[in-house]
Chains A and B, each alone.
Chain A
Amino acid sequence: MITLHDGLERASQFDELAATLQLRRYEWAFLLALDGRTSAREIGKSLGLDDTTVLTMADFFLEQQLIVARSYTLSEYTRLFNVKNEMAPASAAVTSNGSLAPARTGASSISFSLKRKPTTASTPAPTTGPSLKLKPIMDFVIRHSGGGTTGQIAAYRVLLKIPRPLLQAMKIESINFIDDNFELPNQEAYHAIVEGIKSVLNVTYQPA
């Protein structure tokens, strides 16, 4: 499963497989633009391709073993994407007296990593992500698009933006009859919906 945010690169057997392929012009352009760093969406955008085309194409290439989704170590990630280690209180932290502590530098982030106990690396951190309940999200969509039939159409358009396997995994029968307690299966589904809302309504989903 590939997302639009993945950095993709050509698989080791790419040259061998590519020799036997007949692809469309934009498909070759996409494959040859992969650098393992730029996201699938950014590459697609640079070629004038919409998100659905990019996802469908990338899924197909993945299935054909032409590409792989690149994964990174923490240090690769921070170096390649020029980001600070968010697991450390990098930008600001609340001190014991409640005031904001000054932002740490990049160097401090590295020292934080080194200080971690080896055992904590394999222990998953407790997740305090957003609520996965679907009803408030769809209510947000319907409310923000004017309610009624317009709202239903907006909800439908948001669903069309979600990759099919994720949508199927949600096991929803009908959006109109979602149970208040129905929860999305995972964070990936949540983020896909939030991204869909952004794309369709041009607003960022704000949980109530």
Chain B
Amino acid sequence: MKLLIVDDSTLIRRAIERFANKFQFDEIRSANNGANALKEFKNFLPDVVTMDITMPEMDGLTCVEAILREKPEVQILVISALADKSTAVEAIKRGASGFLLKPFTEETLITSLEELFEE
């Protein structure tokens, strides 16, 4: 199992990596915006992606669609602070498997990832 973490914040990328270690991913990589994530995705072909929405260059929702065109079976957890319901609905509409609101804790991230694997 491989995980790609996409977020423009180093703090968040490092926090997700620390918390996700519980799942013993074979490899974890990260990208700091949608455009870099797409490049990284094509080389890395991960099974799971965590995706921020508000990022420079390419936003997360556009990136979700692009990634799913490359590998439709990938599980994408959108992690965003945009708290209006329409954002979460839009993420799911574009093909994300789950939505987690920032700020998150280790516990809420693990629960969200577990739900993703159950699917």
A adjacent to B, CB under 8 Å: no
Enumerate chain A interface residues (CB-CB to B < 8 A): none
